Amino acid sequence: MKNEKKRLKKQLDHFEKTYRAGIVKKEEYIKGKKKIEEKLKVVDKKIKEEEKKKKAVKDIINKPAKVDPKEADKKTIKKNSKKNLTPKKQKGEEDTRVIVMGKNGKNGKKEGSFWSYLILLVIIVMVLFFVYKYTQPVTPITKTVTIYEYSDFYCEYCAEMQVTLKDIKKDFGNKILIYHKQFPNEELHPLSKLAAEASECANDQNRFIEFHNALYFSDLPKETEQDLLDMAELMDFDDYDLFVECLTNHEKSEEVDKDITEGKANGVKFTPTLIINGEVLQGAQPYKVIKAEINKQLKS
């Protein structure tokens, strides 16, 4: 159950990053997030019930058996009464009645202990059964395909890939998770790395999706650093000065370099490139090729 909670939290985090990448629409994001959060609440409740039941089992095992004082007094009185009624033995006569009573008493104690342990065993088995039955995962864990999209904001084929990925996301929904990865090519597009840094600065203010879409699809100029600053100003960031400081000081340069290094290590040579559960698809692949690979991964 705790593993299920971790999986749901990871799914929520992935879903949020996918929304920021512009793959998921706001309405779908809100609906999906609410659904995952509801599942998390149910899982939390089940975890608490499981811990409570485990504690109950532990208490049962460790709790000593109680003896009713009244019942103990009755047995004592009954035994004393029988002892008083027993005639005094004659000299040389064996007190067979006392011996018999002693044997019966010993056997009775063994018999009582047996039934006590048997009842306790039945109770433990029943508790364990209910713990097992009601602490299974709330929903079956379904396989999820992870897609890493390595992209350059100045690559026209990357812009086409955004449209394809939106269609893919629409068809597969929560079965796939898509992550945007920076892979600017400064030799072909001199301002591409700075644009990647700008998108990460925008992400700090939860505006990645708007800046991402503006870079790919808007008619705003994006030929200079000032153009990128003007674009952010038009988008009315909560803290425009913070964005300016982030971009002009190249605070996200290392973060972009990390994506580039990671991509090269995984076989990325140019953009766009998709890595689907470890399988590399280079270039602007058509919808049917991407779909076929996703279905292959879901079935494997």
- Domains of the chain by residue range: 1-87+94-140, 142-299
Q: How many CB atoms lie within 10 A of CB 141?
A: 10
* pLDDT per position as a tens digit, 211-243: 999 999 999 999 999 999 999 999 989 999 999
Coil/strand/helix, residue 144: coil
> Within the chain, what is the greatest distance between any pair of CA atoms?
125
Confidence label for 49 from pLDDT (cuts 50, 70 and 90): confident
Rounded-to-integer distance, Cα 72 and Cα 75, Å: 5
Q: What is the pTM of this model?
A: 0.55
* pLDDT per position as a tens digit, 77-117: 444 444 444 445 444 444 444 333 344 444 555 556 777 77
Q: What is the mean pLDDT of the chain?
A: 80
Question: In this predicted structure, what is the pLDDT of residue 4?
Answer: 72
* pLDDT per position as a tens digit, 253-285: 999 999 999 999 999 999 999 999 999 999 999
Question: In this predicted structure, what is the pLDDT of residue 167?
Answer: 96
What is the fold of 142-299? Glutaredoxin (3.40.30)
Rg of the Cα atoms in the chain = 36
Higher pLDDT, 184 or 58: 184
Question: In this predicted structure, what is the pLDDT of residue 37?
Answer: 84
Q: Is it the case that residue 70 has pLDDT exceeding 70?
A: no
